[in-house]
């Protein structure tokens, strides 16, 4: 079945009755991952040593992607944390830290790098790709609502809290900071055309309990990949790991 992407919303935050109770299944995803042959590198394409940068979601930390980082190293890649630490600051400032990590990874590897972003981290990844396509080989998003924030009340409340935190720390920022209406490079990048040179993958789950999954895909069957899992659990999902291995291998061939 082919899903059609919804129209981009210029950060008109919309409340959506997502099945948030599904997020309680997160521990099962972690358990199944540990029992899966994929977790140990069996049955997946081996990496070629390419650099892969991992970007956490809203109010997340780099170390939350520790499991994914270890697995990528196990299957033959060179993983890097984004360098943003805590994803709860002005997006444009966070992008500068990601840019620094990309510069270091490109220098270390001598070639364009891959980006994997969870939730808001995927939006950061796509922002980087349209601004710096020559440095990016591919982008994989995990439950990232890059077409507009249509989400559960809990997500919107958390977003408001983070924006209040940002403005409390930086009184000189524009009122629309941390929205797609912000005039900074991050805000402007969200509506730019996707560069043809960057291989993209949008992984989504119809049982996402926090955001409307229809805003996490492009509408292209060669890009969008459906899995079964929770929003918080996709970075610990065996099906996602198998997909990442396949898509990174495909990106390396292009």
Report pLDDT digits (tens) over 2-37.
Answer: 577 776 565 567 788 888 999 999 999 999 999 999
Q: Give the mean pLDDT of the chain.
A: 89
Q: Give the model confidence (pLDDT) of 119-147 as tens digits.
A: 999 999 999 999 999 999 999 999 999 98
Average pLDDT of the residues in 55-64: 90
Q: Model's pTM, two decimal places?
A: 0.91
- The single residue listed with the structure tokens 């891959």 is 114
Please check whether residue 100 is in contact with residue 72, taking contact to mean a CB–CB distance below 8 angstroms: no
- Crossing angle of the two packed helices 238-253 and 26-35, in degrees rounded to 10: 60
Instruction: Specify the higher pLDDT residue, 172 or 233.
Output: 233
Structure tokens given for 4:
């059609």
Q: What is the pLDDT of residue 194?
A: 94
Q: What is the pLDDT of residue 181?
A: 65
Domain boundaries, the chain: 14-253
For domain 14-253, give its CATH number from 1.10.3720.10, 3.40.50.1820, 3.40.50.2020, 3.40.50.620. Answer: 3.40.50.1820
Please check whether residue 211 is in contact with residue 13, taking contact to mean a CB–CB distance below 8 angstroms: no
Instruction: Specify the higher pLDDT residue, 52 or 91.
Output: 52
């Amino acid at each position: 079945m082919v899903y059609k992407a919804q129209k981009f919303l210029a950060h008109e935050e919309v409340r959506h009755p997502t099945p948030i109770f599904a997020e309680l299944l997160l521990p099962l995803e972690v358990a199944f991952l540990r029992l899966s042959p994929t977790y140990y590198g069996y049955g997946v394409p081996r990496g070629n040593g390419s650099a892969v940068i991992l970007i956490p979601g809203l109010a997340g930390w780099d170390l939350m992607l520790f499991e994914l980082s270890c697995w990528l190293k196990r299957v033959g890649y060179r993983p890097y944390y984004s360098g943003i630490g805590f994803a709860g600051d002005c997006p444009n400032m966070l992008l500068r830290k990601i840019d620094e990590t990309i510069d270091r990874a490109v220098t270390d590897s001598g070639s364009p790098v891959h980006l994997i972003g969870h939730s808001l981290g995927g939006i950061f990844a796509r922002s980087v790709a349209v601004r710096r396509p020559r440095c990016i080989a591919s982008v994989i998003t995990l439950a990232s609502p890059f077409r507009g924030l249509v989400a559960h009340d809990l997500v919107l409340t958390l977003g408001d809290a983070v924006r209040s935190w940002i403005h409390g720390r930086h009184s000189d920022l524009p009122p629309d900071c941390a929205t797609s209406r912000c005039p900074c490079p991050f805000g402007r990048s969200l509506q730019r055309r996707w560069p043809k040179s960057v291989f993209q993958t949008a992984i989504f789950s119809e049982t996402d309990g926090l955001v409307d999954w229809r805003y996490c895909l492009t509408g292209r069957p060669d890009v969008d990949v459906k899995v079964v899992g929770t929003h918080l659990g996709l970075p610990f999902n065996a099906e996602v790991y198998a997909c990442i291995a396949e898509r990174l291998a495909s990106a390396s061939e292009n």
